[in-house]
Amino acid sequence: MTDTSTNFECRQDNVTFVLVRPNYLGNIGSTARAMKNFGLSNLTLVSPPNNYKDAEARMMAVGAFDLLKSARVCDSFPESIAEASLIYGTTSGRQRAQTLLTIQEAAAEAAEASQHNRVAFLFGDEKNGLGNEELAVCHRLVHIPTNPTFSALNIAQAVCIVGYELTRNNAFGTVMRNTPPKYTRRELPTVKEENEFFTLLEEFLLKTEFLRTFSREVVLNDLRRLYQRMNPNKRELDLVRGALRKANRSIPTPEK
């Protein structure tokens, strides 16, 4: 039997950790420290507290304040993920619209994808986690198994676990996958390019009067799930976008 085992080291420079609406300075600082432990340096903060670099954050970021100072700050969630090609959302498991990956499965896949693509791991706020709209744009949902009677992990603890699983191959040379690679030499479209595709698709469906007001959101969400299962590469999506642009130019807008 042919050995299809692969051994991908994570490209840390192609991985971003995104904290969405973090509330506590200590968690932000601890996240920076945990990331630096595993050679990860791309930190993005979405709507953090104005004083996110103050004393408490500095104290918890011992040895990693440089990472905290260089963190990218975004006012909006879409801005934070626009240039990424593969988005992993962390969840407690209550979200069932998508199949949940274990952290080991997600880390192995992300390490492979990072060879040629930008990968982002999302972590929600301390109280509510990621919202439904944020989870909807994730290509994968990731669950870290915990005690079901006390399942909520501290953000920095979750970051530490993800960082370890993501980069363990770099340090220990462990074989992480026993299936042929999916992402090697594949360039994926960015989230920005995906959003442009869905804008064109929605325009097409409106012009052909396929969409109805009462079901518009449901249909578009279902089509996004279908798209994510198809997993097209950048060239494939560019072809479909080009076809939709031409179709939209040739179809008149229906009269109201």
Render pLDDT for 142-181 as a digit per residue (tens, 0 to 9): 988 888 888 788 999 999 999 999 998 786 544 444 445 5
Distance, CA of 116 to CA of 143 (rounded, Å) = 25
What digits encode the pLDDT tens for the residues 51-73?
999 999 999 999 999 999 999 99
pLDDT (0 to 100) of residue 5: 42
Coil, strand or helix at 97: coil
User: Which residue spans of the chain are classified as CATH 3.40.1280.10?
Assistant: 12-172
Q: In CATH, what class is 191-250?
A: mainly alpha
Report the phi/psi class of residue 225: left, alpha or beta, with left for phi > 0 and alpha for psi in -120 to 50: alpha
On whether the 12-172 domain is CATH 3.40.1280.10, my answer is yes
What digits encode the pLDDT tens for the residues 106-152?
999 999 999 999 999 999 998 889 998 899 899 999 988 888 888 78
Distance, CA of 156 to CA of 176 (rounded, Å) = 24
User: Which residue spans of the chain are classified as CATH 1.10.8?
Assistant: 191-250
CA–CA distance from 227 to each of 30, 43, 93, 232, 240 (Å)? Answer: 36, 28, 22, 8, 12
Give the pair of three-digit tokens for residue 167: 């980069």
pLDDT (0 to 100) of residue 173: 46
Q: Considering Cα of 248, then 249, then 254, then 256, what sign does the dihedral take? A: positive
Give the pair of three-digit tokens for residue 74: 């975004």
Burial class of 134 by CB neighbour count within 10 A (0 to 12, 13 to 18, 19+): buried
**pTM of the complete model beyond 0.75:** yes
pLDDT (0 to 100) of residue 174: 44
